[in-house]
DNA sequence: GTCTATAAAGAGATAGAC
DNA sequence: GTCTATCTCTTTATAGAC
């Protein structure tokens, strides 16, 4: 993907030129390659084969573009928490479901979630995203605490630490997983659950 | 740490003004707050209570400053691999030692390792750091593979995937751990080993 | 070792034509 | 919807005085 510009003809809603989603996809990819702050608008323009000004027809500012991208990632992640599997069954079952769901979303929206996980709070948009990530984390921590109360998750590790460690593992997937490889999303989710719940050691 | 400038008097080698190490410590802290690319030299100058030009007396370029910081983190991590505990005993013992060592280094040099883990390859210095990280990962993967051959680590997960998942967990510590909290480095390392080797599930 | 001043380049964003 | 041209601001880095 170092060449410029797929034909704008193939745009999703059949209109000429790029539509907003197509621009967003490319922008997110380029942001992930160089880092959001290190990516000039001109880099997006080059990749799309457009001028900078043409891009400003599609969005108001670089920051707004980031906001739309982060919303996509956050919405998908938050969606997992309201699926039936996340609200029915034992705490451990729900925890396993949410872990699988997080891996599923992460793989399905890899570039968007990657961008989200690299946000550091440099602007209002970024701080708002961090706030929603924190809320997501808190929901999972509550689930872990419930599972500990059930007796199905070890209680000798604080729930907040256990959550952070396991989600650190999940989130790190964006650093190396590529959907083209030999391992599918389901297999990957299975590996994550195996390590998180049962560990690497044989018995 | 939002105020400016400790007294330069307290500098480590007793010379007037800041020495290179003091500048580096502050630079790494500010880089971590805003991201390396998003941090202008002027932000370092403000934090140190110096002018930009004065800073250029301490280093040749922003990139060189980054290089020195990354060397510190990489050197410390690579050091773990050559300690006696990493070369003696069963593969599982060595793996546990290296995991503990990585957590120890990560906590001891938290800002430097944090900076390292956020590097994306935007320059020659960054790409060289990524290369060394890859070599480190490969050494661990070999260790996991050995432990699998011993029969002490589960073989139903590919060694490279297991390594990435576990080190994803370890590395994610920089995102939340603060040495001021209730949990010490040893306790944290214990938690990491517990989850990585035995998992969250009770038996 | 630090300063003021400035160069040179690149950034985000807008104006107005087609 | 895209273009060229341009504005304004910020950036990295240097020159030269103290």
The verdict on residue B203 lying in a domain is no
The verdict on residue A3 lying in a domain is no
The verdict on residue B3 lying in a domain is no
Looking at the fold, whether A93 and A54 belong to one and the same domain comes out as no
Looking at the fold, whether B130 and B79 belong to one and the same domain comes out as yes
Distance of alpha carbon A169 from alpha carbon B169, whole angstroms:
4
Looking at the fold, whether A42 and A70 belong to one and the same domain comes out as no
Distance of alpha carbon B93 from alpha carbon B99, whole angstroms:
10
The verdict on residue B2 lying in a domain is no
pLDDT at A20: 82
Query: DSSP letters along B98-163, please?
Result: HHHHHHHHHHHTHHHHHHHHT----SHHHHHHHHHHHHHHHHHHHHHHHHHHHTSB-SSS-HHHHH
DSSP for residue A32? H
- What H or E segment, with its residue span, contains residue A92? helix A91-108
Looking at the fold, whether B85 and B50 belong to one and the same domain comes out as no
Looking at the fold, whether B26 and B93 belong to one and the same domain comes out as no
Half-sphere exposure of B72 (CA within 13 A, CB side): 19
The verdict on residue B96 lying in a domain is yes
Looking at the fold, whether B19 and B95 belong to one and the same domain comes out as no
- How many domains are there within chain B? 2
pLDDT in tens, A23-40: 999 999 999 999 999 999
Looking at the fold, whether B20 and B92 belong to one and the same domain comes out as no
CB contact under 8 A, A157 and B195: yes
Domain with B21 in it: what CATH number? 1.10.10.60
Domain with B138 in it: what CATH number? 1.10.357.10
Question: Band of the pLDDT at B17, cuts 50, 70, 90?
Answer: low
On whether any CB of chain B is under 8 Å from the CB of A120, the answer is yes
User: Rounded to an integer, what is the distance from CA A168 to the centroid of its chain?
Assistant: 13
pLDDT in tens, B28-58: 999 999 999 999 999 999 999 999 999 999 9
Looking at the fold, whether B180 and B96 belong to one and the same domain comes out as yes
The verdict on residue B164 lying in a domain is yes
Name the residue range of residue A28's domain.
8-59
Looking at the fold, whether B112 and B186 belong to one and the same domain comes out as yes
Looking at the fold, whether A170 and A100 belong to one and the same domain comes out as yes
- In angstroms, what CA-CA distances link B24 with A38, B29, B56? 22, 9, 12
Q: Which nucleotide is nearest to B65 (CA to C1')?
A: D12
Would you tell me which residues have their CB within 7 A of strand C? A 39-43, 52-53, 56, 60-63; B 8, 15-19, 45, 49-54, 57-58
CA dihedral A145→B101→B186→B28, nearest 10 degrees, is -80
pLDDT in tens, B79-121: 999 999 999 999 999 999 999 999 999 999 999 999 999 999 9
The verdict on residue A203 lying in a domain is no
Would you tell me which residues have their CB within 7 A of strand D? A 8, 15-19, 45, 49-54, 57-58; B 39-42, 52-53, 56, 60-63
- In angstroms, what CA-CA distances link B7 with B1, B10, B26, B55? 14, 6, 13, 16
Nearest residue: Cα versus C1' of C5: B53
On whether any CB of chain B is under 8 Å from the CB of A161, the answer is yes
| A46 within 8 A of A40, measured Cβ to Cβ | no
Single residue among B59, B75, B93 that ends a domain in this structure: B59
The verdict on residue A28 lying in a domain is yes
For A129, the token pair is 């995203």
Looking at the fold, whether A144 and A174 belong to one and the same domain comes out as yes
CA dihedral A135→A139→A145→A147, nearest 10 degrees, is -160
Looking at the fold, whether A105 and A178 belong to one and the same domain comes out as yes
Question: Band of the pLDDT at B129, cuts 50, 70, 90?
Answer: very high
Per-residue pLDDT of chain A (203 residues; tens, 9 = 90+): 444 544 444 444 444 567 788 999 999 999 999 999 999 999 999 999 999 999 999 999 999 999 999 999 999 999 999 999 999 999 999 999 999 999 999 999 999 999 999 999 999 999 999 999 999 999 999 999 999 999 999 999 999 999 999 999 999 999 999 998 778 999 999 999 999 999 999 99
């Amino acid at each position: 993907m170092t060449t410029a510009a797929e034909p704008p003809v193939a745009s999703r809603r059949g209109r000429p030129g790029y539509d907003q989603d197509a621009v967003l996809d490319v922008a997110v990819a380029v942001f992930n390659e160089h880092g959001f702050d290190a990516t000039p608008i001109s880099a997006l323009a080059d990749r799309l084969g457009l001028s900078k000004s043409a891009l400003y027809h599609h969005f108001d500012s670089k920051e707004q573009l980031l906001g739309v991208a982060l919303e996509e990632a956050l919405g998908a992640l938050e969606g997992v928490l309201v699926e039936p599997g996340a609200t029915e069954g034992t705490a451990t079952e729900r925890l396993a479901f949410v872990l699988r769901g997080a891996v599923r979303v992460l793989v399905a929206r890899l570039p968007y979630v990657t961008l989200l996980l690299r946000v550091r709070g440099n602007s209002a948009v970024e701080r708002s995203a961090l706030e929603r990530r924190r809320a997501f984390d808190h929901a999972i921590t509550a689930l872990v605490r419930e599972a500990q109360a059930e007796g199905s998750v070890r209680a000798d590790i604080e729930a907040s630490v256990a959550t952070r460690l396991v989600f650190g593992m999940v989130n790190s997937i964006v650093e190396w997983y590529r959907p083209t490889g030999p391992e599918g999303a389901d297999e990957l989710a299975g590996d994550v659950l195996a390590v998180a719940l049962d560990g690497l050691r044989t018995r």
